[in-house]
Amino acid sequence: MIGWSEQHKAIFDMVRRFIDVEIAPKREEFEHGDTPPYDVLRKMMDTFGLREMAKSRFAAQIEKEKAGKSASESRQSADAAAMQMIPIIELSRHSPGMVTALGVSIGLTASAIMKKGTIAQKERWAPDLLTLDKVGAWAITEPGSGSDAFGGMRASARRDGDGYILNGNKTFITNGPYADTIVFICKLDNGAPMKDRPILTFVLERGTKGLTQSKPLRKMGMHSSPTGELFLDDVRVGREYLLGESEDRGSRAGAKSTFTAERTGVAAMALGIVEQCLQKSIEYAKTRVAFGKPIGDFQLIQLKIAKMQVARMNIQNLVFRVIELAGEGKTMDIAEASACKLYCAGAAVEVAMEAVQLFGGNGYMAEYQVEQLARDAKVLQIYGGTDEIQVSQIARSLLA
Ligand SMILES: Cc1cc2nc3c(=O)[nH]c(=O)nc-3n(C[C@H](O)[C@H](O)[C@H](O)COP(=O)(O)OP(=O)(O)OC[C@H]3O[C@@H](n4cnc5c(N)ncnc54)[C@H](O)[C@@H]3O)c2cc1C
């Protein structure tokens, strides 16, 4: 893929019009009020037929699986992958937080269930997540373990008759405060040394006895994406809540394929952020006058704009590669996905901070939006694996 088709451009326009009416005028409310993002996201999905599309794709996939074909046989075309990417890119121009909330629910949480669940589990939990009728959360991080998610993990499952007793605390969980369905990753308490304990993945439902979901945590940016803590105190679940209903299915490899999807997803978010910063910077450079001329006449301002354009082109090409691979039923391997995330996250932060600089004092003010995008962009270097973890992943694969 080397460019957007006319049809893609028409969809960009339609999504832009929706955002201009439904989201941009209420930015303050979503950013600084207590309005969770889910209703407007449902409306957006309805407007573009995405909920219906999700339902029919799910039905087709389950039918194939019931007929004995594997889930991976139902591949989407590059065009379908592009159609899914467009709302993410466009929404990221205004509210990367909403993309995070949406992506964790219909991406990470539903995908984990679709990858590892039994057919009955998929039918029970996935359709409502894929349509955002229910909000999903995917919980691996703990107060004592983030980058070293498995090494430091304390959350546990103890066998109890035909079920399990779950305990542990999770933190920084996107959608945690509002989630109806939670994918909870923990270690089987089988008496083995901690490092050797098998990883198990459970699905928890809101309101389960012993499960507490905190209020949203205060944070630097991504305010339209609620982030919270989960506390599990002797939560008893039956075996049907264990994904795959087998202790062999919750492997570290399963969580790693989720990391890959998360990392390539960052490219689309970074593209939206960079495009918005670039567009706003160009408009501002043409109209803001200093020393008797538009600031766009100064070479130091031109350098900022030129560098933003280089970043935009590079990120867009990575997005095209992700789309093209999806069309071939492939994804980047973990090292390439890490390189993609490392570059895109860093470029988004640099571009957004340069946009703040280009806007001068106005850049520091909320009214001009680039300060929001700078705060929002920063987390791209932290979640889904920090920059430092991406570096070690890339280097490990090259030096192996
Ligand atoms: C807004 C937000 C939303 C999030 N959403 C979710 C979610 O939905 N679900 C979920 O499970 N988690 C979520 N997270 C957690 C996120 O994935 C972790 O914060 C991240 O992986 C980093 O872990 P940590 O915070 O424990 O940092 P640490 O692992 O403690 O890292 C601290 C510092 O040490 C560095 N470091 C650590 N190990 C190494 C190493 N080997 N080499 C070099 N440097 C190293 C790190 O790069 C970092 O700079 C979210 C986080 C945020 C901020």
Q: 146 CA to middle of ligand 1, Å?
A: 4
Closest residue by CA, ligand 1 atom 45: 388
Q: 262 CA to middle of ligand 1, Å?
A: 13
Q: Is 80 exceeded by the pLDDT of residue 257?
A: no
Length of the chain equals: 400
Q: Which residues make beta-bridge pairs with 202?
A: 184, 242
262 in catalytic set: yes
**How much is the pLDDT for 277?**
98
Ligand 1, closest atom to CA 222? 1
When pLDDT is cut at 50, 70 and 90, the band that residue 260 belongs to is confident
Question: Which of these is catalytic: 262, 275, 336, 350?
Answer: 262
Domain spanning 6-134 has what CATH number?
1.10.540.10
pTM for the whole structure? 0.95
Q: What is the fold, at CATH topology level, of the domain defined by 253-399?
A: Butyryl-CoA Dehydrogenase, subunit A; domain 3 (1.20.140)
For the stretch 142-155, pLDDT in tens is: 999 999 999 999 99
When pLDDT is cut at 50, 70 and 90, the band that residue 254 belongs to is low
User: Is the Cβ–Cβ distance between 51 and 64 less than 8 Å?
Assistant: no
Note the helical H segments in 288-360.
299-327, 334-358
**How much is the pLDDT for 70?**
67
**How much is the pLDDT for 259?**
75
Overall average pLDDT of the 31-35 stretch: 81
For the stretch 325-356, pLDDT in tens is: 999 989 899 999 999 999 999 999 999 999 99
Note the helical H segments in the chain.
6-22, 27-32, 38-47, 50-66, 78-92, 96-102, 110-116, 119-130, 252-287, 299-327, 334-358, 361-364, 370-378, 387-399
Say yes or no: CB of residue 35 within 6 Å of ligand 1.
no
Mutation pick for ligand 1 pocket among 135, 214, 386, 389 (CB with most ligand atoms within 8 Å): 386
**How much is the pLDDT for 251?**
61
When pLDDT is cut at 50, 70 and 90, the band that residue 300 belongs to is very high
Of 28-32, 274-278, 298-302, 306-310, the poorest mean pLDDT is in 28-32
Q: Which helix (H) or strand (E) holds 170?
A: strand 163-174
When pLDDT is cut at 50, 70 and 90, the band that residue 79 belongs to is confident
- Closest Cα partner for 172 from 87, 91, 229, 102? 229
Say yes or no: CB of residue 379 within 6 Å of ligand 1.
yes
Closest residue by CA, ligand 1 atom 25: 146
Q: What is the mean pLDDT of the chain?
A: 94
Q: 385 CA to middle of ligand 1, Å?
A: 6
Overall average pLDDT of the 168-178 stretch: 98
**How much is the pLDDT for 256?**
67
Mutation pick for ligand 1 pocket among 140, 147, 171, 263 (CB with most ligand atoms within 8 Å): 147
Say yes or no: CB of residue 141 within 6 Å of ligand 1.
yes
Neighbour count for residue 231 (Cβ, 10 Å):
15
Overall average pLDDT of the 22-50 stretch: 91
Q: What is the fold, at CATH topology level, of the domain defined by 138-249?
A: Butyryl-CoA Dehydrogenase, subunit A; domain 2 (2.40.110)
When pLDDT is cut at 50, 70 and 90, the band that residue 77 belongs to is confident
For the stretch 214-244, pLDDT in tens is: 999 999 999 999 999 999 999 999 999 999 9
Overall average pLDDT of the 262-285 stretch: 96
Overall average pLDDT of the 23-51 stretch: 91
**How much is the pLDDT for 117?**
96
- Closest Cα partner for 96 from 31, 34, 22? 31
Say yes or no: CB of residue 378 within 6 Å of ligand 1.
no
User: Is the Cβ–Cβ distance between 82 and 8 less than 8 Å?
Assistant: yes
Q: Is 70 exceeded by the pLDDT of residue 159?
A: yes
The residues spanned by each domain of the chain are: 6-134, 138-249, 253-399
Q: Which one-letter amino acid corresponds to residue 77?
A: S
Mutation pick for ligand 1 pocket among 382, 390, 392 (CB with most ligand atoms within 8 Å): 382
How does DSSP assign 140-164, residue by residue? --BTTBSTTTTTT---EEEEETTEE
Say yes or no: CB of residue 172 within 6 Å of ligand 1.
yes
